[in-house]
Amino acid sequence: MIVPPELREDFQERARRVKLLIMDVDGVLTEGHIILEDEKPEMKMFHAHDGIGLVLARRVGLKSAIISQRESPAVQRRARELKIDYLYLKQFYKITAYENLKKDHGYRDEDICYVGDDIPDLPVLRKVGLPVAVQNANWRIKEEVAFVTEAEGGRGAVREVVEAILKAQGRLERAIETLLFPKEPQP
């Protein structure tokens, strides 16, 4: 995670408060390509590193959510596979979904990290306690946030954010241990 030296303590402080990680899909969990074929659902490519990052988060109780403008069976399937806690699709105004999620589940702005890449993410990024842009985000987004990933969206950026949060919270090593040596049988 690219954190300017003068903001390192600020990042640590904000990351320690995070209870929920919210992500956009196109450009964050994927590289942003949308592959359409006639009469077939769209195709999306997800990176395995992001998946492992979200498994690590879940293992230590960090909740996750997706807010996306598009509706996609591929996103629904990936969310099920990763046991994403909250899924909001077809949300043109992401801020509305964000406010509903907070109200329905008792979160405060400072409890939330949002990872975005483009203009529709801006209203949410302006409210959350830990706003993060992926490396290949639109320049306007990068100007608005203090924290930018080293990895591009769809190439491990979410994993990078998860590890940075868990490290700040002192839970990264425990998360890794639960992945390597689970106490309960895994499917």
Report the domain count for the chain.
1
Burial of 25 (0-12, 13-18, 19+ CB in 10 A): buried
Residue 35 lies in a domain: yes
Q: Is residue 98 part of a domain?
A: yes
What tens digit of pLDDT does each residue of 147-174 get? Answer: 999 999 999 999 999 999 999 999 999 9
CATH number of the domain where residue 106 is located: 3.40.50.1000
185 lies in some domain: no
Q: Render pLDDT for 90-122 as a digit per residue (tens, 0 to 9).
A: 999 999 999 999 999 999 999 999 999 999 999
**Which structural domain range is residue 46 located in?**
5-179
Cβ atoms of 122 and 141 closer than 8 Å: yes
Taking the CB of residue 95, how many other CB atoms lie within 10 A of it?
A: 17
- Residue 142 CA, chain-centre distance (Å), reads 16
